[in-house]
Each structure stands twice: as structure tokens, then as C-alpha cells.
Structure 1
């Protein structure tokens, strides 16, 4: 098993290289990817005047939605490891009470702007190199009685489309980053709900619940565009952008072939996504520890 510092360095390098693809497809991903986080948004039931943190904000779309939910007197902070994506978020969205910060949740004591009433995270917790450290920072950044709602992928069988773009594109591209092993950061690192519960409990959360959610992403019927989107936001993205145009075309075609079973002529794509909705609260302090 790779040590935590090496995993952290790998994460930082991966997201620095992946950022251009996420920025290119930010508008598309905000729209098509919204079902992945809808359950967390609904569970939080944000109210005007609340302070909310978005962990793993990427290019900022979900954070802007959170800011709108707590407007006009509330505030929202988006935090992400990738400086380029935070810069893109700042360029894409501006509103009173909305801020985007660059930072590693695992190495902060508390997020600037704390304490927050609520924390939201869409498909990010599973990417932590040290989940207990990251979750502990989240807990410290919440007020007493604050609430956390996050979504993560379940296992690969519940998300059969997820590796298709990489597997279809890989034969035409250069070297890929190392794939995660076991509980290393990756799309299925939080597949085991018992492990998820243990991690949140170790970080000091109470009322932990892990509930299955089945949603679908429905991009339009455009095989080239869908293939390019999924390649560029995945582990093949950096190799794809470095490849010659002829190789990129072949990579898109290869990915589109593997994604074909999720497409219905005239109705577009339907990509089934099996997720966990993770919810928890921060406990009341023990007497004498307020």
C-alpha cells in the first residue's frame, strides 16, 4: 500500500493534469452531472442565511447553486485542490457571499470561513488520500449540530459505464496514471458502506447514514461529444490531450463503441449511476469542552 504522503502527491499531480479537461467541459458537466449530487442538496434543506461549504468544488457549479439556496444573507465557500479549477470557478461565477478557495482539506485544521452550518460534497470524499484526516477537518469546520451530506460512487457493477471511456481510448493513447489499488483514492474507494461508517465515526461524526441512490446521467445523442467529455474528465484525459489529432479521433471512436450499449437511437444516452448518499452531523461538545 502506498503511503499517505505519496498518495497526496499523486492526487495533486493527477488533478493538476486533469483540470484542463474539467474546465473545457464545465458547462456540460454542471448540467449532465447534476443528478450525481442532487440527493445531497435535497437532504441538506438549506435555508437563507446559512453558511455552507462545498468540498471538492471543481469548476464551481454546485457551489454557485448552494450560494443561491442560502441567498441573500447566507454564504457559500467552494474548496478544491486544483488551482486551475478554482480559477475557472471564480471566472464562471460571481455573487454576494460566494467564494472559491484553493486548499487540501486533509492538511487544513479548519477551512477559512468556518464554522459552517452545512457541508456539501459531490463525488469527492472517495478521492481523499487520508479520509479520516479530511473528514476530521470537515467536522472541525462545522458548527455544533452542523450537517454533512455527500455523494460518492458505489461499486463498479453499479456504474458500468464509468471505465468505458478509459478502456476504449487507452489503446490509442500514451501512458496512463496508475490505477488505484484497494482503498486508494479512486471512484470506488467508498464502495463498502461499513468502511464509510467507520471512517466518519473515527472523524468524530454522529448520526452517520449511508443510503443507496440510483440515478442516471442523460447526455444528448452525440457519440463524439459524450466520448470526449468522459475521456477528458477521466484518467485518460492528460494522455488524450497530449496525443496527435488522429490518435484523439481513434480514442473517441474506441470510447464511443464501448458506450454504445448505453445509447438509444433518438433518445440519447442513459448512464446508470449507483451512488451512496452519506449524511452525518457534528455532536454536541462534552461538558467542559465547549
Structure 2
């Protein structure tokens, strides 16, 4: 198993190289990817006047949605490892005079304190599974919460209920060359939180209580435009950096490779329906159980 320092360095490098794709696809991902976190937001129900934290805010779309829910007197803070994405989030959602959500660059695993704490509500869409040292990151989150504050997050379950997910990598890699190392075992990656028993152990170790792990099946609806859909998936995935460096002809071959693997999820004239299996993770903080 790779040591934590190496995994953190790998994460930082990966997101540094992947960020341009997320930035390019920010509006599209906000639209198509919303079901990935909607169930967590529905459970969390941020209220006006609350302080809310968005872990792994990316280009800011989810934080902006939370900011509307806690307005006018509440605050929403988006935290992300990738500086380029945080910069983009600020440009997209900071209103004149500095109004709107606040965005912060930081590694939740190593922060001494999260700016804006303590929080009443914490949200995370598809990020917790990517932590190199989950207990460290979750402990930082719990310490940033008021006693009794609530956490709601989503992560992928396993590959069997997310059959489209590897398509962007497998379909593109034959044309784009080597991709970053694939995760092994519990290393950070899309299926690192597939085992609900492991997730529960991690949350307990970080000091959370009232833990719930609930399965949810959602569908991502995408338009009937293979170039648009395949480029979106490639750019936000492990092959994104190689795709952007490739010549246009090679990029077209990569999109075609992905499109072939996604064809079974496409209805001509209607679009793509991508079945997605999630865990909804819910918990509350309890300062008396702090590790």
C-alpha cells in the first residue's frame, strides 16, 4: 500500500493537471452532475442564517446553491485543494463588493482550522472518497462543526452500479497513452468508499455520531450529443490532461472510443441516461468524542 505522503502528493499533482478540464466543463458539470449531490443537499436542508461548509467545492456551483439557501444572514464557504478551481469559483460567484459565497484553497487533511468555522452544516459531493487519509480529513471537518451540527455527503458505491464511469478512461486511453496510476484497494479513487462498513469505521474514528449510510440510485441525463458528452467525461477524468495535450485528430479518436462504450446508455434523439449508484452519508458532530 502506498504511504500517505505519496498519496497526498499524487492527489495534488492529479488535481493540478485535471483542474483545467473541470474549469472548461464547469457550467456543464453543474447542470448534468447535479443529481450526484442532490440527495445530500435535500437531507442537509441548509437554513437561512446558518454557516455551511462545502468540502471539495470545485468550481463553486454547489457552494453557490448552498449560499442561496442560507441567505441573507448565513454564510457558505467552499473549500478545495485545487487553487485554479477555487480561483474560477471566485470569478463565477463572487458578487460586486465581495458578496456571495467564500472560497478557500486548502487540504482538509492538513488544515489546523477551516476558515469560517464553526459550521452548522457540512456538505460534500463526491469528494470524501478521494482523501488520502480519510480519518485526518474527517476529523478536521468534525472539529470545524458546532456540537450537533450535521454532515451530508455523497460518494460512489461500486463499479457494478456505475457501469459508465470507467468508459471515459477505457475508451480514451487507447488513443491518449498512459494515464495516472489507478487506485489500489482503499487508495483515493471513485470506489474507495464502496464498503459501507469501512465508511462507518472512518466516521466513528473521526468522532462522528448518528451515522447513516444509505444507498441511492440516480440517473445523469445528458443531451444526445456524443462529442459534448464524451468530452465532458474525458476532461473531468484521469485522461483529461492527456486529452488536452493531444492533437485534434487524436482527441476525436478518443471521443469516438468513449462514445462506443457509452452507446448502450444512449437513446437516439433523446440523449444519454447514465445510471449511478451512490451512498448518502449522514452524521452529526459530537465534540465530547473528539479523538
Q: TM-score range by the shorter chain?
A: over 0.9
Please state whether the residue corresponding to 1:285 is helix, strand or coil. Answer: helix
Deviation for aligned residue 1:97: 4.6
Residue in 2 that maps onto 1:208: 211
Contact 1:174-1:243 at 8 Å conserved across structures: no
Which among 136, 140, 145 is matched to residue 139 of structure 2? 136
Residue 259 of structure 1 is aligned with which of 262, 268, 272? Answer: 262
Q: Secondary structure at the match of 2:28?
A: helix
> Match of 1:25?
25
1:47 CA displacement: 0.8
Match of 1:172 in 2: 175
Query: Are the equivalent residues in 1 in contact too, given 2:207–2:287 (CA < 8 A)?
Result: no
Partner SS, residue 246 of structure 1: helix
5 Å-filtered alignment, 1:60-139, equals 60-95=60-95, 96-139=99-142
1:285 CA drift (Å) = 2.8
Instruction: Determine if contact 1:161/1:271 at 8 Å carries over to the other structure.
Output: yes
Give the TM-score of the pair, scaled to structure 2.
0.97
1:15 aligns with 15
CA distance in 1, matches of 2:152, 2:57: 14
Q: Distance in 2 between matches of 1:167 and 1:68?
A: 38
Larger mean CA deviation between 275-284 and 207-216 belongs to: 275-284
How far residue 109 of structure 1 moved from its aligned partner, in angstroms, is 2.1
> Residue 277 and residue 265 in structure 1: after superposition, are their counterparts in 2 closer, same or farther (change >3 A)?
same
| TM-score using structure 1 length | 0.97
In 1, Cα distance between equivalents of 2:31 and 2:249: 29
Match of 2:247 among 244, 262, 274: 244
List 4+ stretches of structure 1 deviating above 4 A. Answer: none
- Secondary structure, aligned partner of 2:288: coil
Gaps of 5+ in 2: none
SS of 2:189 mapped into structure 1: coil
Is 2:143–2:287's contact at 8 Å kept on the other side of the alignment? no
Of 39-48 and 53-62, the range deviating more from structure 2: 39-48
Q: Do the aligned residues in 2 keep the contact of 1:51 with 1:70 (CA within 8 Å)?
A: yes
Structure 1 residue 155 corresponds to structure 2 residue 123: no
Matched residues in 2 for 1:61 and 1:85: separation?
11
The answer for the alignment partner of 1:146 in structure 2 is 149
Q: How many residues align?
A: 287
- Structure-2 separation of matches of 1:100 and 1:283: 26
Q: Counterparts of 1:97 and 1:220 in 2: how far apart (Å)?
A: 31
Q: How far does residue 284 in structure 1 lie from its aligned partner after superposition?
A: 5.3
Correspondence for 1:278: 281
Distance 1:47 1:89 in 2: 22
1:5 aligns with 2:5: yes
Q: In 2, Cα distance between the equivalents of 1:175 and 1:154?
A: 26
Give the aligned CA root-mean-square deviation in angstroms. Answer: 1.0
Structure 1: 5+ residue stretches without partners = none
